[in-house]
Amino acid sequence: MTFRFIHTADWQLGRAFGNLPPELAGELSGARYAAIARIAGIASANGARHVLVAGDIFDAEDLSNTMLRRALERMAEQSAVTWVLLPGNHDPARTGGVWDRVMRFGVPANIICVREDQPLALDGNVFVLPSPLTSKNPGRDPTQWMDTGATPAGAVRIGLAHGSVQGFGSDGESSVLIARDRAATAGLSYLALGDWHGALRVGPQTWYSGTPEPDRFPNNEPGHVLAVSVDGPGVAASVEKIASAQFTWARTTAALRSSSDLAGLEASVASLSTSPGKLLLKLVLTGSLSLSEHADLDAWRETWQARLAHLDVDTAALAVRPVDQDFENLGSDGPLVEAARSLADIASDPTRPDSAVAALALQRLFGFAAQARREGGA
Amino acid sequence: MKIDALRVAAFRRFADPAAIEDFADGVNVLTGPNEMGKSTFFHALEAAFVVRHKVSGTVLDAMRPFAGGEPLVEADFSLNGNRWRIRKQFGRGSAAILTDLTAGRVAARNAEAEDQLGRLIGRAGDLQGPIGLVWVKQQRTLHAPDPDVDYVSGKEKPRGERNALQDAIGREVETAAGGEALERVRQLTEAALDLYLTPTRNAAKKNGPLDSARRKRDETRAALDLAERAAAAAEQRLQAIAAASAEFAALSAPELAARRQHDLAQLEAELASEVQRRAEFDVAREALKARLSEAESARQSLAAERARAERLSNLDQQRSLALDLEAQIAALAASLNSDGATPARLQQLSRAAHARDVADAGLQGEAARIEVRVEPAGAGLVRIDGHVIAGQARHDVPESADIVIDGIAAIRVTAAGAERTAAARQSRDAAGLEIAEILVAIGAAAIGEARDRAEARSRKAEELDRMRAKLSGVAPQGSAAIAKEFDRLLASIPPEGGVAALEDNVNSRAAAAHVMRERVDGLMSTILSDEAFRARSAKLDAARNAEASTARELARLTMRIENLKSEQAGADEDGRAGQVAALSGEYERHDGEVKRLEAEGKALLMLARTLEAIEAKARDAFFEPVTRRVQPYLNEVFGSAGLGFKDAFAIDGLTRDGQRQDFAVLSDGTREQLSVLVRLGFAELLAARGVSVPLVLDDPLVYSDDERLGKICRVLQAASLRSPAAGSEPRGLQIIVLTCRATAFQTLSGRRVSVTAWRPDV
């Protein structure tokens, strides 16, 4: 008998994205809810009737009632799927907490909220051993009990937990440390983990699924769910990584030396996503540009800011270095050139605390001078 | 330096090549209608002498004609006896060529050409080049005057302290020294700063972008603080719920509760049996008390009965004694009553005896004494007063005595004091009579006996008193009372069985009390001491209190958890805590915007200060000498009297037609004239320093009236003829006026230059 299920985690429903423009924040927030239907679609495409969500279903305990109910509604709509929800460190199962509210609202029939360390019979002889977190910081290995958690002989044991794995350099925020060999010690066919937002195998039969919809500029692989199939007790599960994200969050660093480098940058940005409207890009620029090249960059940025869902260009490390041409545009050795040189001296001296200010002042000087020329020509 | 020719091609208005070939020394005037392109020639001069040939972007675009093409400018000029040509090709194929026309060779190309040109016209050095100083472009002479009063706040600006005229001259000097481009950049910088900052530049402008961004950021921060507080409260509540739940679970743990119950029940049972024992003990002790009291009562009954019997016996004796005494008393009293020897009689007797004795004594004194001796033959025959005398006798005769000797003689003897004697005898007789009577009454024969009898009677009376006293002691109320008491006592009902029964009773009661005593003592040994009992009770009370307080604590915890939960539910409804993430992101966004704007403001401020510093340097260098040079022109143009200078060339006013005027506000015309005069001053100053450049005026003095214009023209004319200083060029200042007002400048004599077609050599 083969048992198939979908392993996902870190939905972080209700995440606010307040640092992004409100309309984009709304889209991103909505995309997380929309992921529920996509995951259900992936489940049915892979012959799975169960979706195990390894914690952090909700981004916070104090989400509005509407947000909580909306999540339940979205899951209830996918009636072909049974959702097994595990409280994580963002949404721990504590009295008066978010799951109490969910219980108050009434849980749809196809949702199982696990709130106790107790084997849960899923399908025939398949048992889920869940380790719900009961506080943000339990300070213990919640999977400990799995070693002794009793299931009938011949049962397929699947662990479900949320936290960091010991010895693995996770940047997960929780202080929960899960023994790396838990799958072995607890006789698990598979241990489904949440907290690390990228899809990652961290040990034998032990996987992080990552978040199905990225929520930050990552250095891991977010935006997947895992389709898992288990052929029987003691048989290693087979795992398939399936893309599930609507939005791509990317972080790119590029060194610019001239306007012509912009073309290369453009190509690399275009390769990040087939749908630029769903790409959020954090672009860190280094190198140096002349003032006129900087103006070209500004124009480029305006274009791409419109093209992408979001473009954040960090030019803190991009130097502005006026070249002869820049000075020539200011005219002969007049007072403007003198002013520009004085600012350029400051800007090019990294030991000065006001070098960045001077660089900006220099850009403004050239901008205003160009404007004055235009007016003079009018 | 003198400009000889100026040629342009594909330059601004002139798509076709055009040239002015006929510049002369002194005054040159190019007149023509508007739009003919006078200003294009001005720009061409700039392009030839100031703009770099490699210029690009907007600067280049501005030079290109609408029709397109690559701008070309060429200028011929004379300097120190040599003739030169600068030719600049802009845009595609840009190049600069400086040709020494005198020598007939190219002196330098491109950047080197421009550098050499700069040196030729005196641009090198620490001061910026002179060209911009003296070329005055159309309408650029006019600064919008800085109002002295801020319209919004109504406050005087710090600048208002400066005299408007001085300010105007200063500004002209700055502009001339800094150049027009610098001035414009400065204006744009200030305009941009005006968006962000207040005029004093030390605060964000109200409702400006920086101010708005800060406000938004601060508002978000405030909302975020509230949300964070709400979230912290929620977190605290949830932790409190968890803590209270854990406490509840610990308190209500079944095995703990069972043990508490068991301990309590055991204590209660122990104490109950102890109470039972103590109750038995109390009952026994009460019974003992009763038994003891009964025994005592039996003893008292016995004693009472015994006392009654004794009393009866006593009463009986008393009664006998009293009866006896009463009989004796009655006998004695009767005896006394019948006894005549009463003390009164005895006293009477004594008095009578005494009276007789007294009378006897009287009789004896007076009496005669008879002494007789009767012989034995006469025995029985001699009598005195009838009394036979035997033997010898003496006989006193108080009064008279009759002595008879029977048959022999009768003799009478009479005493001498017979009379008194008679009285005495009478008294004695009376007394004797009384005595006799008393004696009869007493029943005594003689006084002596009477006295004995009286004494005996007295003893009898004493005896009676004694008897009575005794009776009074035995029976004060008399024997009858005793008898009555006796009868009463006798009549009271004696107990059944009498004293013996009572004695039996006493014995049995005492035995019962003894039994009870033993029982009490036995029980006493089984019960706790009072102290121990109180301690045990206290222990039970404590256990019960603990149980009750546990129950109360559980109730309290239940209530607390419920309250916290409902508080939490309320907070969830409120939803403020849920906004933390959104608001902190928003705060980050606004803060980023504020930082960006602050950086922008800082950069603009730095730019403004840099520009100011450069301008100030120029002003400091030129203000004083230029003002000194301008002063005569000012006098000439504005009136006979001059400017009043205070210290440090602070102009305190303009004296015109003999009247001092403070120039709070200068008219546009006046400022325009000042601008031209200041530039003239500059040109002369430079010429005096050996750098001679033409004064170029592009459509100047449009606001000046004819009279003032005429005066300016005279000044310019004079300057064009004057030889500024020894050692400099012999000719006067070259002045090029580009104007559309031919008639206005009619009085300005000089060359009227003309625009001709040009065919640039390739």
How would residue A104 be classed by pLDDT, with cut points 50, 70 and 90? confident
User: Are A131 and A280 in the same domain?
Assistant: no
Asked whether residue B249 carries a pLDDT value surpassing 50, the answer given is: yes
Least confident of A14-28, B581-595, B610-624: B610-624
Is B499 within a domain? yes
User: Are A231 and A311 in the same domain?
Assistant: no
Indicate yes or no: CB of A335 within 8 angstroms of CB of B128: yes
Indicate yes or no: CB of B128 within 8 angstroms of CB of A338: yes
User: Are A220 and A96 in the same domain?
Assistant: yes
CA distance A144 to A164: 14
Q: Which of B73, B596, B610, B620 should we substitute to test contact with A (largest number of A Cβ atoms within 10 Å)?
A: B610
Give me the domain span that covers residue A196.
Answer: 3-243
Tokens in use for B305? 């009965």
User: Are A360 and A252 in the same domain?
Assistant: yes
User: Are B461 and B385 in the same domain?
Assistant: yes
Is B199 within a domain? no
Indicate yes or no: CB of A96 within 8 angstroms of CB of B63: no
Nearest to B573 among A16, A59, A65 (CB): A65
User: Are B298 and B327 in the same domain?
Assistant: yes
Most confident segment among A225-229, B56-60, B429-433: A225-229
CA distance A151 to A282: 48
User: Are A346 and A200 in the same domain?
Assistant: no
A361 to chain B: closest CA residue: B603
User: Are B361 and B454 in the same domain?
Assistant: yes
- Convert the pLDDT of each residue in B128-167 to its tens digit: 444 544 555 544 444 433 434 444 555 544 433 334 455 5
User: Are B419 and B305 in the same domain?
Assistant: no
Q: What is the pLDDT of residue B118?
A: 77
Q: What is the ipTM of this complex?
A: 0.78
Closest CA to A186 of A149, A142, A147: A147
CA distance B477 to B483: 10
User: Are A174 and A301 in the same domain?
Assistant: no
Confirm if A179 and A185 have CB atoms less than 8 A apart: yes
User: Are A229 and A257 in the same domain?
Assistant: no
Indicate yes or no: CB of A360 within 8 angstroms of CB of B603: yes
Question: Of A226, A243, A260, which marks where a domain is finished?
Answer: A243
User: Are B366 and B457 in the same domain?
Assistant: yes
- Convert the pLDDT of each residue in B54-68 to its tens digit: 887 777 887 888 888
N-term to C-term CA, chain B: 27
User: Are B311 and B443 in the same domain?
Assistant: no
| Higher-scoring residue by pLDDT: B172, B223 | B223
CA distance A25 to A23: 5
Output the 3-class SS for B167-199.
HHHHHHHHHHHHCHHHHHHHHHHHHHHHHHECC
Question: Of A223, A243, A263, which marks where a domain is finished?
Answer: A243
Average pLDDT over every residue of B678-688: 75
CB pairs under 8 A between A and B: 208
Domain count, chain A: 2
Indicate yes or no: CB of A339 within 8 angstroms of CB of B610: yes
Measured between beta carbons, which residues in chain B are less than 8 angstroms from residue A23?
A: none
Is B402 within a domain? yes
User: Are B372 and B500 in the same domain?
Assistant: no
User: Are A130 and A179 in the same domain?
Assistant: yes
User: Are B262 and B349 in the same domain?
Assistant: no
Q: Which domain CATH number covers A218?
A: 3.60.21.10
Q: What is the pLDDT of residue B51?
A: 80
Measured between beta carbons, which residues in chain B are less than 8 angstroms from residue A19?
A: 584-586, 588-589, 592
Is B53 within a domain? no
Domain count, chain B: 2
User: Are B443 and B317 in the same domain?
Assistant: no
Measured between beta carbons, which residues in chain B are less than 8 angstroms from residue A282?
A: none
DSSP codes joined into one string, B122-165 = T--SSSPPSHHHHEE-TTTT-PPPPPSB-TTT-PBPGGGGS-HH
Tokens in use for A187? 């006789």
Is B715 within a domain? no
User: Are A141 and A204 in the same domain?
Assistant: yes
Q: For A324, how many CA atoms within 13 A lie in the half-sphere containing its CB? A: 4
B11 to chain A: closest CA residue: A377
Asked whether residue A222 carries a pLDDT value surpassing 90, the answer given is: no
User: Are A51 and A133 in the same domain?
Assistant: yes
User: Are A151 and A175 in the same domain?
Assistant: yes
Question: Of A180, A211, A243, which marks where a domain is finished?
Answer: A243
- Convert the pLDDT of each residue in B623-661 to its tens digit: 777 777 777 777 777 664 445 444 333 444 455 555 555
User: Are B494 and B451 in the same domain?
Assistant: no
User: Are B499 and B451 in the same domain?
Assistant: no
User: Are A252 and A226 in the same domain?
Assistant: no
Mean pLDDT of chain B: 80
Q: Which of A62, A63, A327 should we substitute to test contact with B (largest number of B Cβ atoms within 10 Å)?
A: A62
Confirm if A174 and A163 have CB atoms less than 8 A apart: yes
- Convert the pLDDT of each residue in A315-371 to its tens digit: 888 888 887 777 777 765 567 888 888 888 888 888 888 888 898 898 888 888 877
Give me the domain span that covers residue B279.
Answer: 255-336+483-527
DSSP three-state, residue B117:
helix
Is B658 within a domain? no
Strands A111-113 and A82-85 come out as parallel
Measured between beta carbons, which residues in chain B are less than 8 angstroms from residue A363?
A: 603
Is B583 within a domain? no
User: Are B436 and B505 in the same domain?
Assistant: no
Q: What is the pLDDT of residue B169?
A: 59
